[in-house]
Amino acid sequence: MGELSNKERMKLPKQEMPLHPGEERVKNFNEVPIGYSDEMAKQEALRCIQCKKPGCIPGCPVGIDIPAFIQLIEDGDYAGAVKKIRETNFLPSVCGRVCPQDKQCQMDCIIGKKGEPVEIGSLERFVADYEDKNNLRVLPDIAPDTGKKVAVIGAGPAGMTAAYELRKRGHEVTVFEAFHRGGGVLVYGIPRFRLPIETIDADLKLLEDMGVEFVYNMIIGRVLTLDDLLGEEGYDSVFIGTGAGTPKMLGVPGENANGVYSANEYLTRIYLMGANEFPKHVTPIVQGNKVAVVGAGNTAMDAMRTAKRLGADVTCYYRRAKEQAPARTEEVHHADQEFINWKFLSNPVEILTDENNKVTGVKCEKMELGEPDSSGRRKPVGTGEYFTDEIDTLVFSLGCAVNPILPMTDEVLSVNKWGIMMVDEKTYQTAREGVFAGGDTVTGGSTVILAMGQAKTAAENMHKYLNGEMPWSDAKVPTDPTWPGIIWDAPKPAKKAKK
Amino acid sequence: MSNKSKYSQSFKILKKKELCPDTYWYEIEAPYIAKKLLAGQFIIIRPKEHSERIPLSIAGWDRDKGTIHIIVMSAGYTTGELNGMGEGDCFSDIVGPLGVRSHVSKQDGTCVVIGGGYGTGAILPTAQDLSDLGNRVVGIVGARNKDLLLMIDELGEACDEVMLTTNDGSIGTEGFVTHALQKILDAGEKVSSVLAVGPVPMMMAVAAMTKPLGIQTWVSLNAIMVDGTGMCGACRVSVDGKTKFACFHGPDFDAHKVDFGELMKRQKMFVEKEKEAIEAYSK
């Protein structure tokens, strides 16, 4: 490629991720972004100026050595690039697709200050795809057996990461999952058009090949308790990664009407159970022609775009303004391209029904933006003006609460007033000796990558605990019921990648 | 996926008995579930790979043998598909125990357990539980006619007394389960608690009768579910004006506070799809 000066590099245009056109993609569930070609990846890699103090690494919750892997792409060493990512992140294919890069690594990209940041996510996906296509997914080095047994509860991103990190260190790992398959939210909550299932299954297969044992249909807390795991079953330590799966309700009249779904139910019926292929898969979904989706987070976008693919006219109702939508910028953009109608500053106050309890309409209050609230966003305030739209299906996506079954069935574990599991903020130790937790269980609902970052830290600490290097008495588990849960403050000081 | 686990349960049908037309009793190998089941809890079953996940009440278990018992009446596509399976077949997936134990304690007066149709299976473990706590337990079983009454002998073992009702009077009291309950009350017996499990109209009728009398009454709600672990909210029910999840707040709720009308309508949410599935697979 020759040697380009930084000035020259910064003049290179960003390589836009090629997408299937909106009108075509709403007819199927195929992945929307097509992926970079070799040439595009190399061109995009050239835009990285290899900063001495990169902003991107501290922006990454698992601390990937981003400039290093991009340099390897520039050098044409794609296998080396993915190997570099795998030093710190074992789900590059997932993260390249679903991470909110605009709020993490790409937010602090130095060249992004003047122009467009380097497309780190697209490059990560590119090398992960290269790895898959060329069957380069190799087993990591696994330390000799330690003789310690570890149980991981939940086979979602947090559990998968904890299992990977603990198995790598030579511990015997069993993952207990309540569903009939692994992947957690990656399967039941993220649409196939954003994350193909093959890539999740390849990651699960890698874990199995490493010797991690998966047991499905096991609802821990009920079929086996923590007492059982740490007692009779002989586990030395437990990681809880049960996620935040319990949907928050709308709290308006009519919320239990027929045709009103939580986004979890709606997406689970389709992506876990295959309702879009009914009756080949027998789980049904009943959806009319006019679908309202309430909320504007990533999950809301997923529900809207799914409803569109099932043939509906879809409208988003959100009580704040478009700029305040919590979804990834790219998701809003993609929804836009897929002919979603937007009704911002519209707050549903009632769901209208017919005599059969079937949803017929949604009544909303028009909102306007007032003073900033505690989140720093201007608070929506009611105008006293209302409007009613005819709809036949409503999906509400207002976030989730932590699944209560495990804390309900254990007397030692503690939760805050919102049900978030209380853990030591540095080590992820829970109130119960030997038990750690990470992911949405300790945040109340966040991103895949944050769950992975926490699970990784928790696993490192579990390893110390298992080696007798971490006395439990040092754990600082919060006791204040208003403790907010784990909050990630980016950026953190850059960590040097371990060799 | 991986099959070598010591935790793998075969979910094999060890025994299947026809109780009445379209209604079968099963004994299934599921040692880990059997070990922990409590009265009133339920399971989610996915009979085959392509099937729905449906909730089913538990009619009993054998902890030593590692088996669980269910009663299934063909009501829709999936229950029909399940009833097409036989001894030696294995269900694809079963998860449980789910939900909380029935609300049982030692009472001053009599505890009445009422089963309508296939719901009779579900009251068996609770009847036994109440009996074990030292209560006087009276069972009431109702059906349209004598051929549809089921699990009478088993219930007889768990109860001090069993009363039968049939709509046509072919056996026992002619009429509904409420008539039998009225008989108990008319005899001056103090009734401390009632559990009713069966079709919604039956549970509603029992609730309407016991409410003015102030008798604590529980019903087990058979809401539509997907995961059964609190994740989807398909099983939302209104109890005392508040939304509850039947899967983990229940399945047993205070009958005097349940919005049965809403429940009945919600149960009909997918009837058209049921018909479509039955039609598609009958070809």
pLDDT digits 0-9 by tens, A306-365: 999 999 999 999 999 998 999 988 889 999 999 999 999 999 999 999 999 999 999 999
Share of chain B above pLDDT 70, in %: 99
Asked if the Cβ–Cβ distance from A357 to B262 is below 8 Å, we say yes
pLDDT digits 0-9 by tens, A107-160: 989 998 888 999 999 999 999 999 999 988 889 999 999 999 999 999 999 999
pLDDT category of residue A499 using cuts at 50, 70 and 90? very low
Sign of CA dihedral A200, A205, A207, A213: positive
Q: How high is the pLDDT of residue B103?
A: 95
Strands B67-73, B60-62: pairing kind: antiparallel
Query: Could you tell me the CATH number of the domain that includes residue A340?
Result: 3.50.50.60
Say if residue A262 is in the same domain as residue A346: yes
pLDDT digits 0-9 by tens, B2-32: 446 789 899 999 999 999 999 999 999 999 9
Let me know if residue A43 belongs to a domain: yes
Say if residue A274 is in the same domain as residue A224: no
ipTM of the complex, rounded to two decimals? 0.95
Evaluate if residue B204 carries a pLDDT over 90.
yes
Let me know if residue A454 belongs to a domain: yes
Q: Report how many domains make up chain A.
A: 3
**Which two three-digit tokens encode residue B130?**
């109440």
pLDDT category of residue A497 using cuts at 50, 70 and 90? very low
Asked if the Cβ–Cβ distance from A222 to B97 is below 8 Å, we say yes
Task: Kindly list the strands in the beta sheet with A378-390, ordered across the sheet, starting from the edge strand earlier in the chain.
Answer: A346-353, A359-372, A378-390
Q: Nearest residue on chain B to A255, judged by CA atoms? A: B243
Query: Could you tell me the CATH number of the domain that includes residue A71?
Result: 1.10.1060.10
* Domain ranges, residue A85: 6-133
pLDDT category of residue B208 using cuts at 50, 70 and 90? very high
Asked if the Cβ–Cβ distance from A214 to B52 is below 8 Å, we say no
Q: How high is the pLDDT of residue A328?
A: 84
**Structural domains for chain B:** 13-98 (2.40.30.10), 110-267 (3.40.50.80)
Q: How high is the pLDDT of residue A490?
A: 56
Evaluate if residue A496 carries a pLDDT over 70.
no
Cβ contacts of A284 on chain B, cutoff 8 Å: 52, 270, 273-274, 276-277
Q: What is the pTM of this model?
A: 0.94
Last residue of a domain, one of A398, A422, A446: A398
Q: What does the alpha-carbon distance between residue A391 and residue A285 come to, in Å, rounded to a whole number?
A: 16
Say if residue A241 is in the same domain as residue A258: no
Q: Nearest residue on chain A to B263, judged by CA atoms? A: A256
Burial B216-244 (b: 16+ CB within 10 A, else e): bbbbbbbbbbbbbbbbbbbbbbbbeeebb
Last residue of a domain, one of A133, A163, A184: A133
Cβ contacts of A354 on chain B, cutoff 8 Å: none
Say if residue A239 is in the same domain as residue A254: no
Q: How high is the pLDDT of residue A493?
A: 40
Q: How high is the pLDDT of residue B178?
A: 96
B57-60, long-range: CB < 8 A, 24+ apart: B57/B119, B57/B121, B57/B122, B57/B197, B57/B220, B57/B222, B57/B251, B58/B96, B58/B97, B58/B121, B58/B122, B58/B125, B59/B25, B59/B121, B59/B122, B59/B124, B59/B125, B59/B151, B60/B121, B60/B124, B60/B125, B60/B154
Asked if the Cβ–Cβ distance from A256 to B237 is below 8 Å, we say yes
Last residue of a domain, one of A354, A373, A398: A398
Nearest residue to A456 (alpha-carbon basis) of A178, A159, A236, A197 = A159
Q: How high is the pLDDT of residue A49?
A: 94
Q: What is the mean pLDDT of chain A?
A: 93
Evaluate if residue A373 carries a pLDDT over 90.
no
Q: How high is the pLDDT of residue A2?
A: 58
Asked if the Cβ–Cβ distance from B230 to A245 is below 8 Å, we say yes
Residue indicated by tokens 């349209």: B144
The answer for A 11-70 residues in CB contact with B (under 8 A) is none
Q: Does residue A491 have a cis peptide bond before it, meaning omega lies within 30 degrees of 0?
A: yes
Let me know if residue A377 belongs to a domain: yes
Cβ contacts of B245 on chain A, cutoff 8 Å: 246
Let me know if residue A492 belongs to a domain: no
pLDDT category of residue A446 using cuts at 50, 70 and 90? confident
Q: Which run of H or E residues covers position B254?
A: strand B252-254
Q: What does the alpha-carbon distance between residue B83 and residue B48 come to, in Å, rounded to a whole number?
A: 12
Q: What does the alpha-carbon distance between residue A76 and residue A45 come to, in Å, rounded to a whole number?
A: 10
Say if residue A19 is in the same domain as residue A114: yes
pLDDT digits 0-9 by tens, A377-407: 889 999 999 999 999 999 999 999 998 899 9
Say if residue A340 is in the same domain as residue A411: no
Nearest residue to B91 (alpha-carbon basis) of B47, B34, B25 = B47
- Of the ranges A261-265, A353-357, B86-90, B148-152, which one carries the lowest mean pLDDT score? B148-152
Q: What are phi and psi of B50, to 5 degrees?
A: -90, 0
Task: Answer whether B47's CB lies under 8 Å from B78's CB.
Answer: yes
Task: Answer whether A100's CB lies under 8 Å from A447's CB.
Answer: yes
Q: Nearest residue on chain B to A202, judged by CA atoms? A: B1
Say if residue A236 is in the same domain as residue A275: no
Say if residue A238 is in the same domain as residue A208: yes
Task: Answer whether B67's CB lies under 8 Å from B61's CB.
Answer: yes
Q: How high is the pLDDT of residue A489?
A: 64
Using the Cβ of A405 and the Cβ atoms of chain B, whether some distance falls under 8 Å is answered with yes
| Mean predicted confidence (pLDDT) in A234-263 | 95
Give B188's DSSP letter.
T
Say if residue A339 is in the same domain as residue A200: no
Asked if the Cβ–Cβ distance from A403 to B272 is below 8 Å, we say no
Sign of CA dihedral B253, B259, B264, B266: negative
Q: What does the alpha-carbon distance between residue B168 and residue B151 come to, in Å, rounded to a whole number?
A: 19
Using the Cβ of B173 and the Cβ atoms of chain A, whether some distance falls under 8 Å is answered with no
Nearest residue to A344 (alpha-carbon basis) of A313, A374, A323 = A323
Q: How high is the pLDDT of residue A492?
A: 45
Helices A38-46 and A120-133 meet at what angle, rounded to 10? 140
Say if residue A280 is in the same domain as residue A366: yes
In DSSP notation, B191-243 reads: EEEEEEES-HHHHHHHHHHHTTTT-EEEEE-----SSSSSSS-TTEEEETTEE
| Mean predicted confidence (pLDDT) in A227-246 | 96
Q: What does the alpha-carbon distance between residue B179 and residue B141 come to, in Å, rounded to a whole number?
A: 11
Say if residue A273 is in the same domain as residue A394: yes
Nearest residue to B29 (alpha-carbon basis) of B61, B73, B2, B3 = B61
| Mean predicted confidence (pLDDT) in A101-107 | 90
> Residue B177: left if φ>0, alpha if ψ -120 to 50, beta else—which one?
alpha
Say if residue A168 is in the same domain as residue A291: no
| Mean predicted confidence (pLDDT) in A419-439 | 96
- CA dist A298 to A182, A378, B225, B227, Å? 21, 20, 24, 22
Residue indicated by tokens 């029935």: B102
Amino acid identity of residue A156, one-letter, is G
A291 strand-pairing partners: A314, A393
Cβ contacts of B52 on chain A, cutoff 8 Å: 273, 282-284
Q: How high is the pLDDT of residue A494?
A: 41
**Which two three-digit tokens encode residue A430?**
């829970």
**Which two three-digit tokens encode residue B191?**
């009734």
Compute the nearest-CA separation of A324 from chain B (Å): 26
Compute the nearest-CA separation of B273 from chain A (Å): 6
> Which residue among B52, B229, B281 sits closest to A405, beta carbon to beta carbon?
B229
SS3 string of chain A? Answer: CCCCCHHHHHHCCCCCCCECCHHHHCCCCCCCECCCCHHHHHHHHHCCCCCCCCCCCCCCCCCCCHHHHHHHHHCCCHHHHHHHHHCCCCCHHHHHHHCCHHHCHHHHCHHHHCCCCCCHHHHHHHHHHHHHHCCCCCCCCCCCCCCCEEEEECCCHHHHHHHHHHHHCCCEEEEECCCCCCCCHHHHCCCCCCCCHHHHHHHHHHHHHCCCEEECCCCECCCECHHHHHCCCCCCEEEECCCCCEECCCCCCCCCCECEEEHHHHHHHHHHCCHHHCCCCCCCCCCCCEEEEECCCHHHHHHHHHHHHCCCEEEEEECCCHHHCCCCHHHHHHHHHCCCEEEECEEEEEEEECCCCEEEEEEEEEEEEEEECCCCCEEEEEEEEEEEEECCEEEECCCEECCCHHHHCCCCCCECCCCCECCCCCCCECCCCCEEECCHHHHCCCCHHHHHHHHHHHHHHHHHHHCCCCCHHHCCCCCCCCCCCCCCCCCCCCCCCCC
> Which residue among A208, A264, A284 sits closest to B233, beta carbon to beta carbon?
A264
Evaluate if residue A495 carries a pLDDT over 50.
no
Asked if the Cβ–Cβ distance from B229 to A264 is below 8 Å, we say no
Asked if the Cβ–Cβ distance from A181 to B1 is below 8 Å, we say yes
**Within 13 A of B164's CA, how many CA atoms are on the CB side?**
19
Amino acid identity of residue B266, one-letter, is R
Amino acid identity of residue A303, one-letter, is A
Strands A341-344, A346-353: pairing kind: unpaired
The answer for B 127-156 residues in CB contact with A (under 8 A) is none
pLDDT category of residue A456 using cuts at 50, 70 and 90? very high
| Mean predicted confidence (pLDDT) in A246-269 | 95
Task: Answer whether B223's CB lies under 8 Å from B237's CB.
Answer: yes
